[in-house]
Structure 1
């Protein structure tokens, strides 16, 4: 099929700071005619009717009313990744446009990242690396200690597919696993990973050595963890966030870390991203911050693109949609 006959998909760009990765563009080109935002803006009148899909990669391009009004034949917005808090689902739906995401591709790498952050924080790996390579190091201190993950209590807030995979991994460390979720898991699922349900999040916070946040960002979960919740945690506890930055009140977290209300934090997400270079979180030594890399693996990127392609093709061909996201 000639390029012009393939359905048009709008992307921000290919390569560069924010564009779709080159190898993912190769996958997309097998099924779609790729149109960059630059090409679209330079020739809106001719190109707008060719665009039937938008592929959102790393939150871009921005989907606003103006863009939707300029794409009369748009049928689907395919988000690469599971979180869709950057998309106004009700507004998009009002244009008769479907939204899809890629939940299957992200679960394993994000769960791996949660475990990596927990282990790195517990054993102070970042500090340890800095000591080991510092030109000023003459000897290793014998009183430089971390804490153990094995047999510790892990509290998982959000027991969807990612949270459950975290529990599967934590079980191998003989951890006591507590979880809080809107809906309780089936008894067989709980027993399979040895997880105990906490109806009240407060009970989980009070008992856990490590608290891991694995929730979607919604109005209900915005600043879910604030001063009150941090105060309920053990002073020896660590807070880990692999969901979205705004799930935590960052001002309250700064205060809690400075005053040793909790032992440490490990964050793969913040708000904004990246943080301003003078942000107080960046000045603390009891925190690890990584650049939102929960799904940043070669395999996950490839799987997300394939999942997004399958979603777009399903919509365009009138087939059942593997991963549709509905407005609430």
Structure 2
């Protein structure tokens, strides 16, 4: 029976499914693998089920020239913590869990839009503080999102799910920027330049993480936003230059931001913590039991296919050489 390391505690149905086909070692620590554990994982197990923060970098693979592991079955759609080119060069396949995360992540995007636009976090803090003096007509006026324009950066599965919710649920006009032309986004939506998408009333980033999108949202991109607009990131933290975002907020260049991910996660840029117009969530994108279970079972499906000599259904294609 092939050996498998599961790097974090997972829902019990996932662990049970894994044990049915693998000799499982379940790591109980909720923190990412450290430098030594990363290398030992490649040397000691036939397969590894890692997740966000388990940094399988090129340096890790270079230190283990003859790995025992042959598959990294990532728990999550994002896999920018794994250098897929280095893994491929080492003879290790990488898979992920797309699809299972789509709706839950899109829901969090809408939550952040509404919380930030309607100042919900600020309002809850006011009530809890005991300083609320009662309703009055001009108290805590926010942005009414119905009928506004939403700009979506990255129109993949999650971007399209956000667009459907925004358009059909709130009557929003959808514009989007995508790295490749999209003939049919599945709803009334217009593909535009990055600058035009950033000039919408609400901007949501839904691109994959990785070197190609690091700091995609920088000072130049934020300069296209308008003073009443809000910015939301449910993608990966390093897609946004957090220092540039802080400056845009401090200068009143944009009205607010809603973040579920952070550039230096789990550390949050201190200035953001003190801004009332910023909604901060602890990476809740897929934090529902049924969703995390579905993600884990998809990872196990990838493992099971590999163990049977088949191609994992969600195999990640390594980037082209050079």
Partner of 1:76: 71
Determine whether 1:248 maps to 2:240.
yes
Select which of 259, 273, 279 maps to 2:270.
279
Distance 1:67 1:289 in 2: 37
Does structure 2 retain, via aligned residues, the 8 Å contact 1:20–1:57?
no
User: How far does the alpha carbon of each residue in 1:178-211 deviate from its partner, in whole angstroms, 9 at most, with x for none?
Assistant: 001011222xx33x4111011x2012222x0000
Instruction: Quote how far apart the aligned CAs of 1:292 are.
Output: 0.9
Select which of 216, 227, 237 maps to 1:224.
216
Superposed, 1:293-312 pairs within 5 Å as 293-312=284-303
Determine whether 1:233 maps to 2:228.
no
Instruction: Quote how far apart the aligned CAs of 1:65 are.
Output: 2.1
Does structure 1 retain, via aligned residues, the 8 Å contact 2:105–2:234?
yes
Determine whether 1:7 maps to 2:2.
yes
Does structure 1 retain, via aligned residues, the 8 Å contact 2:239–2:263?
no
Q: TM-score, normalised by structure 2?
A: 0.88
What's the secondary structure of 2:213's corresponding residue? coil
Does structure 1 retain, via aligned residues, the 8 Å contact 2:14–2:293?
yes
Partner of 1:16: none
Instruction: Quote how far apart the aligned CAs of 1:95 are.
Output: 1.7
Determine whether 1:204 maps to 2:194.
no
Determine whether 1:323 maps to 2:314.
yes
Q: Between Structure 1 and Structure 2, how many residues are aligned?
A: 307
RMSD of aligned alpha carbons: 2.4
Distance 2:108 2:219 in 1: 26
Distance verdict in 2 for CA 1:127–1:179, change over 3 Å: same
Determine whether 1:195 maps to 2:171.
no
Superposed, 1:131-142 pairs within 5 Å as 131-142=126-137
Q: TM-score, normalised by structure 1?
A: 0.86
Partner of 1:170: 166
Superposed, 1:14-29 pairs within 5 Å as 19-29=9-19
Structure 1 stretches of 5 or more lacking a match?
Answer: 1-5, 14-18
Instruction: Quote how far apart the aligned CAs of 1:67 are.
Output: 7.2
Distance 2:128 2:43 in 1: 57
Does structure 2 retain, via aligned residues, the 8 Å contact 1:55–1:77?
yes
Instruction: Quote how far apart the aligned CAs of 1:37 are.
Output: 6.2
